[in-house]
A and B are shown apart, each in its own frame.
Chain A
Amino acid sequence: MADIDDTHFETGDSGASATYPMQCSALRKNGFVMLKTRPCKIVEMSTSKTGKHGHAKVHLVGIDIFSGKKYEDICPSTHNMDVPHVKREDYQLTDISDDGYLSLMSDNGDLREDLKIPEGEVGAQLRTEYDAGKDILCTVLKSCGEEVVIAVKTNTALDK
């Protein structure tokens, strides 16, 4: 039972639930769902059945939006699944500290310095572009109380 409760933990700031329920059959590919208590993006979705004359079941394959790990689940289409609230915000990169923390500025000028440089390709790209003196936009993904930079984009808005 404990693991079910886990999916309902609250985020510190908003006070609202981190997830909301949605009928399994109404989920969509490329949308989000909680699988094994992790927030995932649905990369595959197919319908099967419980026996030929049984009811629809939905087979879901999801990728953990933070760790990239793959999860699978099959559930009756009538079930309510938890869908994580997923927020994404763009920040301007202003600095990278020596210990690998990013200084990010939001649209309204607020500064934050609590996120680390991400791992993998994105992190490497971020570092090179920053070193090259480019203007960088970071997309921060936030869900279930976790946050990470998932994408970088060289800011071209200034050129135009």
Chain B
Amino acid sequence: MVKRASIDDNGRDRATILQEVENLIVNAEPDKKLLGCNIIENIMQEYASTVKSTDVGLSWEVHFKAKKQFEGTDLKRIFQFCIYLLSEVVKNDPPYSDIMVQLTRHLLQITERVLVWGYVSPILPKRLIGIYESVYESDQAPALKLNDGWSEIMFNPDLVPLMFQVFWKVRDVDELAHHSLNCLVQLASLSGGIVNNEESRMKYLNSYLVNFLNLISNTTVKRKESLGISNIVKKLVMFYISDFSKLTNPLQETLLDEFTRLTCHFCDGATHDEANTDEDNFFYDAYDNMLEAWTTLVADFTSISDELHTSCATRIFNNYVQCHLATPDGTRRTDISDTGGAYEENIEDNDRTKYKEQLQTIGLLSRTILQHSIPVLYKILESRIEVLLATLPVMQQRAMNINEANSLDNLFEDLHWAILIAGHVLCMECDGETALIPSEITHHSSEMAKNSISNIEASLKALASTDAKATVPDNLEQCDPVIRIGYNVMRLCSIEEAAINMKLGHLMSPEVGSSLMWFLKRWCLSYLLPEEDFYQQMSPVLLACLGRDSECSKLIISFLLNKISANLYCFQTEPILLRDTVELFSDMVCTKQKSVYIIKTNSMAKLITLTEEIQPGTLPPNILRGVYKGLVLAGACLVDPNESTMYYERILNPLKIKFKTLLGQENLARICEDERVQKIVIDLLECFIGVAKGSQMATVEILFEFIAPILSEIQVFLNLYKHYQVIVQLILEVFGQCAKYMLCYLRPLDSKKLYESSLAAVQEYAKCNATRLTNGQFAEESSCQDLSLVLDLLTFILSKDCIDLCTKTCDEEITMTASDISLFGLKFIMPLMTIELLKFPNLCAQFYRLLVLINDIYPEKIAGLPEDMMTNLLRCIELGLTNFGSDIVQACLDFIQGMASYLFRHQTLQSPFALALKPFLKLLMDLVLRHQINSDMISSSSTTIYTLICCYQEEYQALVQNLIQNQSDSLVAERLTAAFNNLMFNVQFTCERHAKLRFRDNFDKFIANVHGFLLVK
């Protein structure tokens, strides 16, 4: 009500109310003081949001104006009032009385709200303001962005010291400390027009930093405060990094020193927190914030001396390493790995993924201090390797006692972390880009060689001595530091193998094994056979050891391939280790420039033979496909067609023969249920999936020639194994992967072949499952998995109509298009899509996405559908509008709008489809008017409704008349008529963008207006 009134009187009323409330708070009884605070908070609430407050029947523009007016006047007044009261509060020392605590809490809350307020900005469009305001509602407060008008208040020299003083006094009172700290965090992000003046900005920053440093250097930050304090650092760095260099030198130094101290403190805390899983991980998050700040500091704070920088980075690096090493070298709690039998390992949260960002930042920092960091890492590796080597013979002689087993675990944990850190120091993340050696590293390596600290000879010797039995070369100190890490990692691989040969494989750690594979994967991508053209400067030592012409790199390649073979053979029961092994393999061969040096080696031939000899049904799921993907990828480097054919025949022929032999069995129908046959079929399908995944433009022709006959015959299995879900799903996946990885490169004729066999497969699947009812609670879930694969297939096929990378045309005219296939396929599985199944959110989203996609590309295909299919489809859309989440509603709206614009454009308004679409106008109007569509969707519904109105103007008029006539109250009917008139004011039915947008704005007002009096529930 205050808000409504304030619109008319420019806030005069509100000011009076505030005046009275302020008096109340200053003078009245304690109870009434609190009441006063509540009133202020409520008033603020009213003005806080513009987008979501449609409930009082004001349009958005009015909300916006009201908010802006409020910000310019009373919000400042409230803030000043609170600050004044807080300054009174801090005159007393704690402990505070209960009532005092409560009052202070309210004051701090109000102050905090002013500081996290989402200030309106005249330049943002409504949609962005909406996002802004929803950010405000989430945890992450927006920056404190103020205009000039606030200068006097914010730059008051007493404000910042006061707020720090408040915090200092209340930090032991839990319910106050949090709000007070939040205020400080917000003050650290002061930005916007207000800080344009450099002098006042620097004054403010200086004052803030002095107070902040004063605070943190005089106390130990508590775990609860750590997050807030780290946020202050993060925001200061984010908003003021360019001003740091203008600070006095001593202040700069203290600043970095304190930042470093905080970082290390949080890291220690985080390590401690890890051990006690029941506590919140404030320190952990705080540490992340600090590291985030450091990435900016490293890049942009260049005015500090190298010396200072080195010392800070060294402290942080050492501290991180120590936190992850066992005593005596480190501070890791040794009982971490001792969590009993149930150590949950999800693929998603191994250390590598969980600490990815930490490790990346530590890597970044370490690359600035390579002289220090690399030796630390190789020394850790070497000392641990020595211990491990000494332990092996003992293990062989007798069983270990508990203490020995524990120290072995600690040894593995140290190795694991040393490898992880080393991997992040030496290589950068290279998602989708060519992996390069970081320039700091080439520089460092070159410098070491130039200064004769390292030389080629010693480095080569190290790489030749990776065998477990080999002695450590006597000139290892002259080995290049980067090579030395690689040497140690490879040596660990050899030791693992040696242990297997000593029948001690079961005592090795699969975790360390995985980390080794991961490290080698990154190392190979960046360092092995480097593409010299990419580098301005290249280290001669690295080139001599790992370059293309070096004998040594050949040794390394065969070493790695042998290790991959050994893992596939010896660790068949370790799925995660195998996954990393297979990834190493496919990354080694993924670029032609490198695989050309790999493909013709003996080790590669051995690997191929070994893969073929693996007993069916022994590898965990998804491994065999990874190996075949790698094998197929490797062949892409062969340019000579004969060589290429020979290579692929070598790999693919055995598969073909296996497949043919199976199919040729006369008694196939009888023996197909035999376990051995099943295992062979499953492994074959895994291989086919791998082949599809490894296809590239250069190889697709030869690969498709291999797989096409298989695809057309595989239907037999689909029928034979219709009750074996594992096999059915694998077959569907073979098709899906072919469509995903091959189709976009295929020639029209080949595409047609793939279409036909895919369609046949979908049809066969549908035939086996239509009208079938299975018992059991999991029947639905399994149909859901199947159908999701089918929808994948249809979606991948459809994408051929968007992305076709094949340039060849075909003489024969092909009438079949991808969208035909998708629609046909959809027709087959539509009867299987029950409403129960659509309740699985993923499947539902997938289904509607496919519909919209088809509609986007080929509305005419949809418009021309046979009637029963069309009815089904529209029924699905109708369901989608009302039964599921808002993403699905959006998809359905898109669908309707797409179809309606198509109909309007082509003026086919008498077609059966146009008739079928007509009821949606009324449906949508009803949904919107009855508030059954989420308010976020109103604007997209409005454009859909507009498009529908363009198509069906008569129906729209009738609908409006009907609505008006149905109102029993004549006043309401009148207002409704007026509202409808306004809605159409100045809007033409051209279905064009401009008119559409105008309608959207009108509709917004219309809804705000109409909901006010129509929505009587």
Interface residues, chain A, CB within 8 Å of chain B? Answer: 20, 22-26, 28-31, 41, 43, 46-56, 63, 68, 76-78, 83, 85, 87-88, 118, 120-122, 125, 139, 150-154, 156
Contacts and interface: CB of A to CB of B under 8 A. Distances in A.
Contacts of B770: 153, 156
A68 B675 contact: no
Contacts of A24: 573
A139 B775 CA distance: 11
B940 interface: no
B307 to A, nearest CB: 39
Contacts of A49: 343, 345, 510-511
B781 A43 contact: yes
Contacts of A152: 772-773
Nearest to A51: B343
B771 A77 contact: no
Nearest to B411: A53
B802 interface: no
Interface in B728-787: 729, 767, 770-778, 781-782, 785
A92 to B, nearest CB: 15
Given A30-B782, A156-B771, A48 B344 contact: yes
B576 A47 contact: yes
B769 to A, nearest CB: 8
A43 B345 contact: no
B509 interface: yes
A43 B573 contact: no
B726 A53 contact: no
Given A48-B342, A52-B413, 16 more contacts: A20-B675, A23-B572, A28-B621, A30-B725, A47-B576, A50-B341, A52-B336, A52-B511, A68-B775, A78-B573, A87-B673, A118-B775, A150-B776, A151-B774, A153-B770, A154-B771
B773 A26 contact: no
Interface in B226-253: none
Nearest 10 A/B pairs, CB to CB: A53-B509, A77-B573, A153-B772, A88-B723, A154-B771, A30-B725, A53-B412, A25-B573, A151-B774, A52-B337
B675 A85 contact: yes
Interface residues of B, number: 52
A151 to B, nearest CB: 4
A150 B345 contact: no
Nearest to B409: A53
Contact of B343 (A25, A26, A52, A78): A52
B160 to A, nearest CB: 47
Given A26-B617, A152-B773, A51 B572 contact: no
A55 B345 contact: no
Contacts of A50: 341, 343
21 contacts: A20-B675, A23-B618, A25-B572, A26-B572, A26-B619, A26-B620, A28-B726, A30-B725, A30-B726, A48-B345, A55-B506, A55-B574, A56-B573, A56-B576, A68-B775, A78-B573, A85-B675, A150-B776, A151-B775, A152-B773, A153-B770
A58 to B, nearest CB: 8
A51 B337 contact: yes
Contacts of A28: 621, 682, 726
A153 B722 CA distance: 13
A56 B574 contact: yes
A141 to B, nearest CB: 8
A122 B618 contact: no
Contact of A25 (B341, B509, B620, B785): B620
Contacts of B859: none
B881 interface: no
Contacts of A43: 778, 781
B338 interface: yes
Contact of A56 (B340, B342, B575, B773): B575
A86 to B, nearest CB: 8
Contact of A48 (B343, B510, B778): B343
A26 to B, nearest CB: 6
A49 B342 CA distance: 7
B573 A54 contact: no
B507 to A, nearest CB: 10
A120 B775 CA distance: 7
Most chain B Cβ neighbours within 10 Å, of A25, A29, A77: A25
A121 B778 contact: no
Nearest to B578: A25
Nearest to B771: A154
B339 interface: yes
B575 A30 contact: no
A41 B778 contact: yes
A46 B343 CA distance: 12
Contact of A54 (B343, B572, B619): B343
Given A26-B620, A56-B510, A121 B573 contact: no
B413 A25 contact: no
A25 B785 CA distance: 22
B607 interface: no
Contacts of A41: 778
B966 interface: no
B512 interface: yes
Contact of A51 (B409, B618, B729, B777): B409
A151 B722 CA distance: 12
B678 to A, nearest CB: 9
A77 B781 CA distance: 26
A49 B194 CA distance: 56
A47 B575 contact: yes
B346 interface: yes
A51 B339 contact: yes
Most chain B Cβ neighbours within 10 Å, of A41, A53, A87, A150: A53
Contacts of B774: 122, 150-151
Contacts of A54: 343, 509-510
Given A50-B343, A51-B409, A53-B412, A23 B573 contact: yes
Most chain B Cβ neighbours within 10 Å, of A24, A51, A88, A139: A51
